[in-house]
Amino acid sequence: MASPSSHKKTPVHDLPTPEPDSPSLTRSRQPYRFSTLCATVDSPDADHKDQHGSSSVPIYQSATFKGVGNRYDYTRSGNPTRTHLEHHIAKISSAAHAFAVSSGMAALDVITRILKPGSEVIAGDDLYGGTNRLLTYLRKHMGVTVHHVDTTKAESVIPYLNPGKTAMVLLESPTNPLLKIVDIAGISALVKEKCEDAIVVVDNTMMSPYLQRPLEHGADIVYDSATKYLSGHHDLMAGIITCNRDDLAKDMAFIINSVGNALSPFDSFLLLRGTKTLAIRMDRQQSTAMLVAQMLSKLGFVTHYPGLPNHPGKEIHDRISDGYGAVLSFETGDKELSERIVAATRLWGISVSFGCVNSLISMPCVMSHASIDPAVRAARGLPEDLIRLCVGIEDPADLLDDLRHALIEAGAITFAANDFVRIPNPISRAVEKLALGEARTAPPRETREWFVSAPGKVILFGEHAVVHGVTAVAASVDLRCYGLTSPRYDNKISVHFVDINDYKHEWDIDELPWDAAVPIPKGEEHPDSLDMRVVEAIKARALPPESQMPPKTHAAAVAFLYLYMMMTFSGHRPAFHFICRSTLPIGAGLGSSASFSVCIATALLILHRRIELPTVPPPTRPPTVPGDPGHVHLSHRGRRAIPPEIAEEANKWAFVAEKVLHGNPSGVDNSVAVFGGALAYVRPGFGKRSGMDQIQGFRSLRFLLVDSKVPRDTKALVAGVARKKIAEPEFVGQLLDAIQVISNEARRALADPELPREMLLSGLAALIDENHAHLVSLGVSHPALESIRSITSASPYRLSTKLTGAGGGGCAVTLIPDDFADEALQSLISALEAQGYRPYVTAVGGSGLGILSPYDPIAVDENDDTPPLSPPMTPQPNAEAEPLRPSIRRRFEAVNVSELSKWASDRGKWLYV
């Protein structure tokens, strides 16, 4: 294919052209080329010839027309100026029908009104933000199912082609903003073969009819945002729809007339004028775009432009298109760097649109595609640092010079050896400041062991109903996850998940996929969305496939490595071994993943030196205990407290780990694991104040947790409640209201310091029974849970029990009164164990995150054959060998889980939240 500046393909348009004016000519005229068709506006028919011979189509700026039964009566239904425009657009689009409406999104709205509830749509995974927004609305409110697939692979649509249900396949090529290429012809053929009633719709805005005419390749409907190239001057908004099928044209004409979104006469006139220069504008724009793409690619930026020889879709694009267009995008590897580049340009105007005679620059993820959820953007591989360039008709030399200056000013390139070269691994100014200032020298190796722990959680009231806006009350349980870090001196990190299939793995630090990571500078927060490039790189290059790893270990390892890589800054990559133990049942709905997340987040924050525990002031009085370091801040529990800013930082990073593990967590579990005690949580979006509130004054309660050992499907249970709510809205609404009342009463009782203990326990017992009955009515209990409840409520125990968490299996919680006899409790435990259940006696509402203080003397168990945990007195002389130093690593790995809590508490004095 020729370069864009001389692409001059001569497709034959089956359109009317003038016959010879003179009988002396012996041959017919050749069909007009596209640029001639653009510049030549003819009359649709004899009725539209101007009586005065105007060389420009008149503006019929009239809302109404006189007469009865005439062609025009009301401009909403038809207007002569708009008819001229639609005739002209059909001519240059190889179309039988064309419609002009008020915007590109109005065009898509007209097209999607063809859909019915229950219809299925297949769409690409790299779409314009407005398209994604409309499809999301249809999915949520109109009962339309939308499947987003990678349409660059034609075969990817096959699993979703459902005869009788698939109604539409929506394509863009090139896609916006990653410039992916879609085989329109190939997909159209597949659709017609497998779902003959489905229509293929193509957004052709990026190309315009000049460079691509999808109707010629099997598409049924094509639409353009005529605001872009067809107009070319950004002085109007318009949308164009074209098709060749009479039935579709009739349906869309009816919709346009009904909703009244047809293009106004004046805008029709402006658009008709703009189309006359379409070819000459695009010739200049795409020739310059090729120069810009070549420059960026040469500098080493990942550049997306189908005209580059290394573009993966170039062969397909050359087959279906007549040029490469004037939009391209490139990646810098650093969002802040991209922001500086965009801000530093002068000729390139910052704008969300494209297709204008003026060159434009933007960052799609913060502009045109910002309406797409960050997690969705990440899942679809849309880089946050992506810059989109829309090339205009300015002099190419000026545009290239302006872009080079912006790259230099932003710190992306420099001039060396008589040429412009890219600065390797550009870093943000925050990191640069650290590198040039406080981090001039590498930080010392960490030679201490760090011991951390975090509790699990139990949802006391409001489970399932919380999804529908009801307040949930959750509290920490005195079953914990523990994590120990031991230094390594061989440039490796390793993990040992003792209680998750005794899983072990180690990595060479330098071989981790650092090229995919843009770490978060110290002092800055992780964005709302995960960096899916890092997640996918870890899965593909640092771990075996999930199917080849023991259950639950894959996700845990991904979360660990993700936090390790994203916390790295100033080149400091600590080497250590991390061991994880848990007294919590794994996967039973008691927050085991959240407590694990808090442990790895806290340990990594310490090892990456992103947090510092407060130094201990010198003693101001004679110590009352040998080795007492002096005053340390006391928490309300009388224990030494972790400073709130450290707890907040640990919670934020634990929430990031929870996202890796669960996708879209509420934040309740990790908050309870960090802060302990109890809290009330309300989801946003229900017309009342949302968020989490600590329940002050919460008094510890004793519970029996019983693991049913029955796996549960949380998503299925939540979906079942949602279906029941749709089918029986009044009944379910009453249940949700009743559960809200229970949560409110429980919250007031738990926070009331004046309420006698006996009244508190009896009141909670009644609320537990009532709450469980409502959950049964919602259909989320399970025979195993009912069996547990029948045992605990029977004589002689007569205790109150309810399901917790997801239900459907998982765990039950039983309130144990203060005066409940130990003999009776042991009898109950035996009865439950006899039925195959696993009971745990625990306290609810205790401490949160714990860090073993490195300042305190260690109380050594005389029967413990391992030395105590403490910082070494002197640095290790040999950095290459495993140090010979005091360590609790072997004992921590070997201690029985039933003894783990006591053993850990005996190590010394802990700092707690």
Catalytic one of 203, 402, 478, 531: 203
CA-nearest of 745, 636, 622 to 680 is 745
CA-nearest of 279, 289, 297 to 325 is 289
In order, the DSSP letters of 805-859 are: TT-SSSEEEEEE-TT--HHHHHHHHHHHHHTT-EEEEEEES----EEE-SSSPP-
Is the Cβ–Cβ distance between 381 and 175 less than 8 Å?
no
- Residue ranges with strand state E in 125-209: 145-149, 166-172, 199-203
Q: Characterize 125-161 residue by residue with b for buried, 16 or more Cβ atoms within 10 angstroms of its Cβ, and e for exposed.
A: bbbbbbbbebbeebeeeeebbbbbbbbbebebbeebb
Give first-to-last CA distance, the chain, whole Å.
Answer: 67
Is the Cβ–Cβ distance between 93 and 215 less than 8 Å?
yes
Residue linked to tokens 């949700």: 736
Catalytic one of 213, 228, 539, 789: 228
- Pairing between β-strand 120-124 and β-strand 145-149 as defined by DSSP bridges: parallel
Is 203 catalytic? The answer is yes
- Pairing between β-strand 503-508 and β-strand 701-707 as defined by DSSP bridges: unpaired
Residue 255 neighbours by CB distance under 10 Å: 18
CA-nearest of 610, 580, 608, 607 to 592 is 580
CA 54/CA 693 separation, integer angstroms: 73
Integer-rounded Cα radius of gyration of the chain: 34
Q: DSSP alpha helices (H): ranges in 543-667?
A: 553-567, 592-607, 644-662
CA 446/CA 450 separation, integer angstroms: 10
Amino acid letter, residue 176 = N
Is 499 catalytic? The answer is no
CA-nearest of 723, 708, 698, 712 to 844 is 698
Catalytic one of 60, 82, 91, 128: 128
Quick check: bond before 174 cis, omega within 30?
Answer: yes
Amino acid letter, residue 704 = L
3-state SS, residue 906: coil
* Residues linked to residue 456 through DSSP beta bridges, in sequence order: 477
Looking at residue 244, what DSSP letter applies?
S
Amino acid letter, residue 53 = G
What contacts 710, CB < 8 A, 6 or more positions away? 782, 784, 808, 809, 810
Catalytic one of 76, 319, 639, 885: 76
Tokens of 126: 């790299």
Is 50 catalytic? The answer is no
Is the Cβ–Cβ distance between 849 and 912 less than 8 Å?
yes
What contacts 544, CB < 8 A, 6 or more positions away? none
Is 628 catalytic? The answer is no
Q: Which sequence positions are flagged as catalytic?
A: 76, 128, 203, 228
